[in-house]
Amino acid sequence: FAEFNPQSLADFNATMLGDHSGHMRMVISYWDMAAALVNDGAISLELFSKSNGEHIGVFAKVELLLGEIRASYGPHYAASLEKLIDATPDGRKRSAAARERIKAIRAQVAARQTKAAQS
């Protein structure tokens, strides 16, 4: 999932139809299911938030494409996850911050790879 960073619906589709489709679907559906448990009261938001944060990073990877993804794959794609993010204090801000951290990490990795290739 670390390599899954779609910038467009075409990127999302390439993963959905590619070799890592199962991995991507498993991660997103897992966190959507976990979110449904919180949304329906099986686990309190407070308890869930104390021990989890990965769902925010997962949501950050698809958030900006949700409209297009839902138009292609159905209106309920990651709906429970989105509902949980919206119920989480500063959820959208945390998602945006996660996106920026992911971008910075990817830039650092790319710089290291470029430097290693030049050595």
Structural domain includes residue 2: no
Structural domain includes residue 4: no
- The pLDDT assigned to 89 comes to 95
- The pLDDT assigned to 52 comes to 92
Structural domain includes residue 83: yes
The count of structural domains within the chain is 1
Whether the per-residue pLDDT at 1 is higher than 90: the answer is no
Average pLDDT along the chain: 95
pTM: 0.90
- The pLDDT assigned to 2 comes to 80
**For range 10-38, the mean pLDDT:** 96
In this predicted model, which residue has the larger pLDDT, 2 or 81?
Answer: 81
- The pLDDT assigned to 18 comes to 94
Alpha-carbon torsion, ordered 42, 47, 53, 58, to 10 deg: 10
Task: Give the helix/strand (H/E) hosting 51.
Answer: helix 45-51
**For range 39-59, the mean pLDDT:** 96
DSSP 3-state assignment of 45? helix
Structural domain includes residue 1: no
Whether the per-residue pLDDT at 35 is higher than 90: the answer is yes
Structural domain includes residue 105: yes
- The pLDDT assigned to 101 comes to 94
| Full residue range of the structural domain in which residue 86 is found | 9-118
Structural domain includes residue 104: yes
Going by pLDDT thresholds of 50, 70 and 90, the confidence category of residue 55 is very high
